């Protein structure tokens, strides 16, 4: 199937509405999914985030599913984890989430879920791409059209269940500021925290597909308001979500944005055992988990790779430094709402977030991205794989499971890999010393700039 065009990136299909994400494509993906899962009589859960194009894409996909004889369980506007969990709990055959996650308003996308709440794997995505490319669909007659059911009330069950599994203590109320980016978590994230007994202040909790308060990417530039609010109000923690709320980033009680790798490490320590993360995650996770007698396994970037490895290796917890965490004791769908509850629980148990973060060994890290047209990525990465190692003379290990990751003799490392969703080549550098970090970063940038 190598000659079949790729639709899926590292996290579903994404692109600008009416450019890559057309209504024709949405219809064909729905028909292809229906064919893939068996068509007539099968059941599919569907939900969307707050984007202005979400409902029209949903209508078209529902039509494609009904036309193929599938029944549809309609959640409405919900976070991505609610779709994954509903697919599992309702014993559906597949799930569809219509979202472009952290991308700007003009983008949208489609992500598919298995019956167990696990995102579609690459081989499954290739099968969908083949069916779309070949227009290989099964359309039923007028007397076999599927049925549509409203299951929007399932949201309440989802909230009850994430509160229960988080083991949050309602008798230790914390002051929590939550910034939902006007995205899909706008109703349910504050509701879950309040229902769990917390004192909640909200920012950008009005659903709005234009994302008027801030861009949906939860990074330092976009979370300045949250950081100031936490400090001014004397809150215990600030929580921020992306557009579909499968991610969570925290701000400590001093108003500082938490180091993403350290935040992941804090919750990983609550589980111990086998932790799964990606090639771009910090070595601080390995250091802390090894102290506990556990181990860390690494995968290519993308939550589906983390999820697969958790399943294959009986992992206790896993996630990416981006704030995309998987909780196998609940569901294999990344869940920013449950992640937020678990950070609150960790503060209740172990004290101030800033002190927990400071207790983790610090390795300075730089994450950058260099613009690169999608059609140039393959040729650029070929040169990276063949020539990048020649820039250094103290290499200990080279990994090519996802991009090129070079580990140096002192434990420092650099990773160059293409974005699966945007026109960038990403550079992640971690140094045991600031001087080594800067040296690696400068050489990496110069090397890529010459290529691109």
In sequence order, what are the beta bridge partners of 282? none
Give the Å distances, CA to CA, from 164 to 322, 342, 349, 414: 25, 11, 16, 40
Nearest to 373 by CA among 418, 417, 416: 418
Of the candidates 290, 328, 285, the residue with the CA atom closest to the CA atom of residue 309: 328
**Catalytic residue status for 101:** yes
Nearest CA-CA partner of 205 in 220, 185, 224, 219: 185
CA 270 to chain centre: 21
**Taking Cα atoms as reference points, which of 94, 119, 86 lies closest to residue 38?**
94
Whether the CB-CB separation of 359 and 352 falls below 8 Å is answered with no
Q: Which residues have C-beta within 8 Å of that of residue 236, sequence separation ≥ 6?
A: 174, 175, 176, 253, 344, 347, 352, 353
Q: How many alpha carbons lie under 13 Å from residue 275 in its C-beta half-sphere?
A: 30
Selected catalytic residue, list 11, 68, 101, 282? 101
- Using CA atoms, how far apart are residues 239 and 252, in angstroms rounded to an integer? 9
* Distance (Å, whole) CA 452 – CA 450: 6
Strand, coil or helix: what is 119? Answer: strand
Token pair belonging to 252: 């400590």
Paired with 202 in beta bridges are 178
d(CA 237, CA 255): 8
Query: What contacts 200, CB < 8 A, 6 or more positions away?
Result: 176, 177, 178, 190, 193, 194
For residue 445, the surrounding DSSP H or E stretch is: helix 434-451
Annotated active-site positions, please?
Answer: 101
């Amino acid at each position: 199937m190598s000659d079949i065009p790729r639709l899926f990136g590292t996290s579903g299909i994404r692109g600008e509405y009416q450019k890559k994400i057309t209504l024709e494509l949405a219809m064909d993906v729905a028909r292809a999914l229906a064919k893939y899962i068996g068509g007539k009589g099968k059941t599919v859960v569907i939900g969307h985030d707050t984007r202005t194009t979400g409902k029209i894409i949903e209508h078209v996909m529902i039509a494609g599913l009904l036309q193929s004889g599938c029944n549809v369980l309609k959640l409405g506007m919900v976070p991505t984890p609610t779709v994954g969990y509903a697919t599992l709990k309702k014993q559906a055959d597949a799930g569809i989430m219509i979202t472009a996650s952290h991308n700007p308003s003009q983008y949208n996308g489609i992500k598919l879920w298995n019956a167990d709440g696990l995102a579609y794997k690459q081989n499954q995505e290739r099968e969908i791409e083949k069916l779309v490319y070949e227009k290989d669909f099964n359309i039923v007659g007028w007397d076999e059209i599927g049925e549509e059911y409203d299951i929007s009330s399932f949201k309440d069950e989802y909230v009850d269940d994430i509160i229960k599994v988080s083991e949050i203590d309602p008798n230790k109320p914390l002051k929590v500021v939550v910034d939902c980016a006007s995205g899909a978590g706008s109703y349910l994230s504050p509701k879950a925290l309040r229902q769990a007994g917390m004192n909640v202040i909200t920012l950008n909790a009005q659903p709005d597909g234009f994302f008027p308060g801030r861009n949906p990417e939860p990074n330092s530039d976009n979370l300045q308001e949250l950081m100031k609010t936490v400090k001014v109000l004397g809150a215990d923690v600030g929580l921020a979500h992306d557009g579909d709320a499968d991610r969570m980033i925290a701000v400590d009680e001093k108003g500082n944005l938490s180091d993403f790798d350290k935040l992941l490490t804090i919750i990983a320590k609550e589980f111990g055992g086998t932790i799964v993360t990606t090639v771009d995650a910090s070595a601080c996770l390995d250091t802390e988990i090894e102290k506990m007698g556990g181990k860390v396994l690494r995968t290519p970037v993308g939550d589906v790779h983390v999820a697969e490895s958790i399943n294959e290796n009986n992992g206790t917890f896993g996630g990416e430094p981006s704030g995309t965490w998987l909780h196998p004791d609940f569901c294999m769908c990344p869940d920013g709402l449950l992640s937020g509850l678990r950070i609150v629980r960790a503060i209740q148990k172990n004290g101030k977030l800033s002190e927990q973060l400071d207790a983790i060994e610090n390795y300075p890290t730089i994450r950058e991205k260099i613009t690169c047209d999608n059609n140039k990525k393959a040729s650029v990465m070929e040169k990276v794989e063949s020539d990048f190692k020649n820039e250094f003379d103290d290499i200990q290990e080279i990994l090519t499971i996802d991009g090129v990751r070079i580990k140096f003799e002192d434990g420092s490392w650099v990773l160059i890999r293409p974005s699966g969703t945007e026109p960038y080549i990403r550079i992640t550098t971690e140094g045991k010393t600031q001087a080594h970090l800067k040296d690696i970063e400068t050489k990496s940038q110069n090397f890529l700039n010459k290529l691109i």
